[in-house]
Structure 1
Amino acid sequence: MKLPGQDTIARQPDEHLVSHRVTLPRKIVEHPFRQVAKRLSMALVVLVFTAVIVYADHDGYKDNNGDGVGLLDAFYYATVTLSTTGYGDITPASDTARLVNIFVITPLRVLFLIILVGTTLEALTERTREEWRLNRWRSTLRDHTVVIGFGTKGRSAIRTVCATGLKKEQVVVVDPSSKVIDAAAAEGYTGIVGDATRSDVLRRAEVHRARQIIIATQRDDTAVLVTLTARQLNRGAKIVAAVREEENAPLLKQSGADAVITSASAAGRLLGLSVLSPAAGMVMEDLIQQGSGLDIVERPVIKAEVGKAPRDVDDLVISVLRGHRVLGYDDPAVGKLELTDRLITIVRATPGTQVTPDLRPLPRD
């Protein structure tokens, strides 16, 4: 089956293929030029302060030319002293001037060097620090969630998963746009710039050690290739993919997706339901939005519920997950609830309540 636009996949911008950088989340810092300007200003303040101290006690300094120490000479002495040049043409002669040099000028000299040299050292060590952070991130990343595509669908999926208690540090975003990855990093997610249909890009996201993979690309053909590549790298991860056209859903499942969401059809059905019954449409939209109104949650059966029928449970049970089968609440095969069952229920959302998601792979067709 040839999907629309499949022959154009290879003609992506070159930056998508070569810029496979990893962007770790970081705090927002000032622009480098602003940092340098601020440090130069601090160094200038130290220089002026030192010159003022020298000029205030200019009688205690000796100039080799014998004409005394003026304001310009004070700035000259402060400059060569703070920079550790020390030509020796102007020297402290009195005991007071020497004490001031010991307890004031010398600490100012150290401060001056720290300000200027610190800027250089920070620039030189930035790359080393980033490499260390990256190696540490790779060594500690396990059972994380990889999200392919940080568009509207990808963002909504991440927010829903994080609402269940998943930490942002356990989310890795892959997208071909560097601007999108920068936006993801600003929100606290680790980002990989690159084409997710390439195995080397997915390896940078540590897909082979991921527990869940969410594929929210803009094109169905890209979603198929990403699913094939991800499944090849990780046989045990739960893969959930979104497609625009319903006819492409079976192809995604054949490629290795555990669950496929048809975005266009789902939106269309919600529109139709809202036309037939606006109230029903509002309820469905409320169920979709995590953390407000009504929520659909999956939870295990507790001991007090064992042996009861789904209708007898306090929560509103709509389905029972038994093994790899999803049974309706009224399915005769359910019978009595067992301790190993899991329930799909509708509950009233409570602020601050976290729901533990089920991370077991879904049954495949």
Structure 2
Amino acid sequence: MYSTLEEKYQRIQKDLMAGAIALVFVFLIGTSWYRLVEGWSWEDAAYMTVITLATVGYGETNPLGSRGRLFTIALILMGVVNIGYIVNRFTEAVIEGYFQEGIRLRQQRRLMESLSGHYIICGFSRTGRQIAKEFQAEGVSFVVIDSEFESVQKAQSQGYTAYQGDATLDESLLKVGVERATCIVAALPSDAENLYTVLSAKTVNPAIRAIARASTEEALQKLQRGGADAVISPYITGGKRMAAAALRPQILDFVDGILSGSDRQLYMEEFLLNPANCPFVGQSLQKAKLRSQTGALVLAIRRLDGNLIGGPTGDTILMSGDTLICMGTAEQLRSLNQILGPINSQQLRPPKNN
């Protein structure tokens, strides 16, 4: 049993090609025999070979002796077996839909090659499905990779671009354009697989942002040492959120509403200050007047060296490479986007109406 649909399609192609080559070889043998042994012209030899292989029932082109008739019997048998093999494989390909699958695979390959600045989700389990749902809601370009055929089918049935392959292998990651991707999310069920995926992705594309899932604290530390930019443990994070829901329910509801609420009015976005297109580098927040110009609120500033300034004041100087974490309505953030330029190029999506 083949591991992927692409391998099945490639095997069918190889089988049909091998059958066609074998048929040509049999034709050459027959033509050569009638020409060199029987002494016929090339035209008569080729014609006799064709009608023999096709078993159309025509008579002999020229009289044949016992030796020639024995060869013709062998030629008929070789032709029947060879043509039968080709017809069998072709029929199987039509019934199983391999030709349609081949067209789909070519379209998918072209799509993969056109992806740039996209996100990669490794694993389409419960965690991966939720990530894909959030990515789709945000309107970002992403592709799902999973080794299980059923998971790939499920992803495709939901309208996602999906590829069947082992995310721990460089070859599979290259198929989904890891060298051109912005971020990879390793959401595989095994910590070891997530570690291998992060290592492979960072080897091919050192600039990619790697997010990984960890089941234990030990795995969390190993993934961080392996190059993951952020490691999330569903158990640790879930416990913290449950505690927050018990202790500070209103704050948690407010933050959840901003980050993932379906009917929220406020959004959060991060913006990168680039001196090439941002006129406010070197100015203070008070002088830049971002709040008065757009209505968006600057909640925090992440310096280029990683230092986080929470609740910056009007005297805080904006520096090249700063990441501004801002909150506001979709329209306010769009206005801020026009004068600052976000980290990613996606358009801020408008609020949904339930």
Q: Same fold (TM over 0.5)?
A: yes
Alignment of 1:259 with 2:240, yes or no, is no
Alignment of 1:156 with 2:130, yes or no, is yes
Which amino acid letter does the alignment assign opposite residue 299 of structure 1? F
SS of structure 1 residue aligned to 2:100: helix
Partner residue of 1:243 out of 214, 229, 235: 214
Partner residue of 1:298 out of 258, 270, 289: 270
Which amino acid letter does the alignment assign opposite residue 308 of structure 1? L
Q: Identity percentage over the alignment?
A: 23
Separation (CA, whole Å) in 1 of partners of 2:136 and 2:230: 19
SS of structure 1 residue aligned to 2:285: coil
Whether contact under 8 Å (1:148, 1:216) holds in the other structure is yes
Give 2:166's aligned residue. 195
After TM superposition, give the deviation of residue 182 of structure 1 in Å.
0.9
Separation (CA, whole Å) in 1 of partners of 2:318 and 2:200: 39
Whether contact under 8 Å (2:113, 2:177) holds in the other structure is no
Whether contact under 8 Å (2:280, 2:318) holds in the other structure is no
Whether contact under 8 Å (2:299, 2:312) holds in the other structure is no
Richer in helix (by share) = 2
Which amino acid letter does the alignment assign opposite residue 285 of structure 2? K
Give 1:226's aligned residue. 197
After TM superposition, give the deviation of residue 124 of structure 1 in Å.
8.2
After TM superposition, give the deviation of residue 240 of structure 1 in Å.
1.4
Q: Deviations over 1:312-347 (max 9, x none)?
A: 753333321232424223479x83224653311233
Give 1:146's aligned residue. 120
Aligned-CA RMSD value: 4.0
Alignment of 1:307 with 2:284, yes or no, is yes
After TM superposition, give the deviation of residue 286 of structure 1 in Å.
2.0
Partner residue of 1:165 out of 136, 139, 152: 139
Alignment of 1:279 with 2:253, yes or no, is no
Alignment of 1:182 with 2:153, yes or no, is yes
CA 1:190/1:351 → structure 2, altered by over 3 Å: closer, same or farther? Answer: farther
In the comparison of the two structures, how many residue pairs are matched?
246
Whether contact under 8 Å (1:150, 1:174) holds in the other structure is yes
Q: Deviations over 1:143-193 (max 9, x none)?
A: 3221101223223323333444324xxx22111221221111122222122
Separation (CA, whole Å) in 1 of partners of 2:256 and 2:189: 23
Q: Deviations over 1:106-136 (max 9, x none)?
A: xxxxxxxxxxxxxx89968535533542442
CA 1:158/1:358 → structure 2, altered by over 3 Å: closer, same or farther? Answer: farther
Whether contact under 8 Å (1:147, 1:173) holds in the other structure is yes
Separation (CA, whole Å) in 2 of partners of 1:130 and 1:265: 41
Whether contact under 8 Å (1:239, 1:256) holds in the other structure is yes
CA 1:200/1:147 → structure 2, altered by over 3 Å: closer, same or farther? Answer: same
Which structure has more RCO (C-alpha within 8 Å, separation ≥ 6)? 1
CA 1:318/1:280 → structure 2, altered by over 3 Å: closer, same or farther? Answer: same
Whether contact under 8 Å (1:300, 1:340) holds in the other structure is yes
Separation (CA, whole Å) in 1 of partners of 2:199 and 2:287: 38
CA 1:324/1:236 → structure 2, altered by over 3 Å: closer, same or farther? Answer: same
Separation (CA, whole Å) in 2 of partners of 1:21 and 1:175: 14
After TM superposition, give the deviation of residue 304 of structure 1 in Å.
6.7
SS of structure 2 residue aligned to 1:325: coil
Which amino acid letter does the alignment assign opposite residue 325 of structure 1? G
Structure 1: give runs of 5+ residues left out of the alignment: 1-13, 23-119, 361-365
Q: Deviations over 1:232-279 (max 9, x none)?
A: 222221111122323322211221212222322221111111111222
Structure 2: give runs of 5+ residues left out of the alignment: 8-93, 346-354
CA 1:187/1:335 → structure 2, altered by over 3 Å: closer, same or farther? Answer: same
CA 1:247/1:283 → structure 2, altered by over 3 Å: closer, same or farther? Answer: farther
Which amino acid letter does the alignment assign opposite residue 301 of structure 2? V
Which amino acid letter does the alignment assign opposite residue 229 of structure 1? S
CA 1:341/1:199 → structure 2, altered by over 3 Å: closer, same or farther? Answer: closer
After TM superposition, give the deviation of residue 300 of structure 1 in Å.
4.3
Alignment of 1:137 with 2:106, yes or no, is no
Partner residue of 1:325 out of 296, 300, 306: 306
Separation (CA, whole Å) in 2 of partners of 1:231 and 1:310: 40
After TM superposition, give the deviation of residue 282 of structure 1 in Å.
1.7
After TM superposition, give the deviation of residue 349 of structure 1 in Å.
5.5
Whether contact under 8 Å (2:146, 2:164) holds in the other structure is yes
Which amino acid letter does the alignment assign opposite residue 343 of structure 2? D
- Scaled by the length of structure 1, the TM-score of the pair is 0.56
Separation (CA, whole Å) in 2 of partners of 1:149 and 1:122: 27
SS of structure 1 residue aligned to 2:197: helix
Give 1:58's aligned residue. none
SS of structure 1 residue aligned to 2:188: coil
Separation (CA, whole Å) in 2 of partners of 1:242 and 1:331: 32
- Scaled by the length of structure 2, the TM-score of the pair is 0.57
